[in-house]
């Protein structure tokens, strides 16, 4: 069984734990996308944090989650200001650091 997975849909994406949906994120609810890099026991992990409007709720997914690459590919379609060079920024970002890669402001 798959631990976590992302399924991209036309108006949203869903995050699954096993066969259960644990989050549904509408594209229109996203206020900011933040690149994050964390140092683990074995290696560093790169991920994205989606911050919502209004308030400071967020959901975080990383490159280890099945469907992460599909999610990243579709982001530029929904967020015209999305930094398509985010992976290069991740390479130079220190571990345990964050960097905004999309914000409408």
15 located within any domain = no
85 located within any domain = yes
Q: 21, 78 in Cβ contact below 8 A? A: no
pTM of the model: 0.81
9 located within any domain = no
Walk along the chain (105 residues) and give the pLDDT tens digit of each residue. 568 999 999 999 999 999 999 999 999 999 889 888 877 667 778 899 999 876 668 899 999 999 999 999 999 899 988 888 888 887 776 655 666 766 776
pLDDT of residue 91: 76
**Strand (E) positions, the chain?**
4-8, 12-17, 20-26, 30-39, 44-52, 58-62, 97-102
What's the domain count of the chain? 1
23 located within any domain = no
8 located within any domain = no
- In terms of Cα–Cα distance, which of 85, 35, 42 is closest to 63? 35
38 located within any domain = yes
97 located within any domain = yes
pLDDT of residue 83: 85
10 located within any domain = no
Strand order in the sheet with 44-52: 58-62, 44-52, 30-39, 97-102
- Cβ burial, residue 63 (10 Å; 0-12/13-18/19+): middle
Q: 60, 36 in Cβ contact below 8 A? A: yes
Domain span including residue 63: 28-102
């Amino acid at each position: 069984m798959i631990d976590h997975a992302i399924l991209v849909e036309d108006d949203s994406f869903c995050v699954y734990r096993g066969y259960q949906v644990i989050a549904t994120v509408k594209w229109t609810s996203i206020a900011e996308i933040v690149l994050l890099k964390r140092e683990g026991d074995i290696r560093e992990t790169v991920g994205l944090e989606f911050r919502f409007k209004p308030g400071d709720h967020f959901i975080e997914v990383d490159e280890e989650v099945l469907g992460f690459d599909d999610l990243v590919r579709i982001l530029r379609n929904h967020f015209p200001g999305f930094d398509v060079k985010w992976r290069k920024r991740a390479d130079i970002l220190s571990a345990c650091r964050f960097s905004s890669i999309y914000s409408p402001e």
